Amino acid sequence: MTEQKPSRREAILHALVELLEKDPGARITTAGLARSVGVTEAALYRHFPSKRKMFEALIEFAEEAVFSRCQVILQEQEDARVRLQQLVHLVLVFAERNPGLCTVLTGDALMGENDTLRKRASQFFERLETQVRQTLKEGEIRQGLRPRTSSARGADFVLVFVEGRVQRFIRSSFTRLPSSDFDEAWGLVAETVWSNTA
């Protein structure tokens, strides 16, 4: 059985993610990326009309990977507490497995890029917050879970936990894993979100 070689487009995106992981604070140039892939800059532009389109493709990949799995969790799990725990764990493990991509989603890799691109990246976390808020509301309505605050404030608190863990991962040069000690930390988050977590 032969292993299929990735397309040139996939190779470019993979090289971009590797560069972001290798040197998180560095500005990525198309010349450096082309060198990394082993092609000319003109070849890069045949696959992506701009560096912005490369970053957008990475954001779209992250959204598809995470939110398609979120839908599976929502279909498989009835309990809002389990749903929420699994959604959060999913995002943290995704971040661990895709460190270079984390710098795009948090906007760190987009400093100096078009502001529209940074806004586009922030939609990932906005969409996640909406999903968390909906899960909190469903827990209250369907299961009678008593929230300690509004679903909007609860979702805000959960997102602070997620984004904080991802930012710490980046800040530590990818050494402090976002999912480390997850069960213990999640227990504290759950106690803060719901009055009755048992």
| pLDDT tens, position by position, 86-109 | 999 999 999 999 999 999 999 999
**Percentage of the chain lying above the pLDDT 70 cut:** 96
Q: What phi, psi does 187 have (nearest 5°)?
A: -55, -40
Q: Is residue 75 part of a domain?
A: yes
Residue 28, domain member (yes or no): no
pLDDT at 92: 98
Those residues whose C-beta lies under 8 Å from the C-beta of residue 180, and which sit 6 or more positions away, are: none
Average per-residue pLDDT for the chain: 92
The CATH number that applies at residue 181 is 1.10.357.10
In the chain, the number of structural domains is 1
- Domain presence at residue 44: no
Q: Is residue 99 part of a domain?
A: yes
Which of 2-11, 68-77, 96-105, 108-117 bottoms out in mean pLDDT, i.e. has the lowest? 2-11
In sequence order, the 6+-apart residues with CB closer than 8 A to the CB of 128 are 66, 87, 91, 159, 162
For residue 38, tell me if it sits in a domain. no
Angle of the 151-171 helix axis to the 115-143 helix axis, nearest 10 = 130
Q: Is residue 22 part of a domain?
A: no
pLDDT of residue 69: 97
- CB-based contact 179:89 (threshold 8 Å): yes
Domain containing residue 73: 54-193
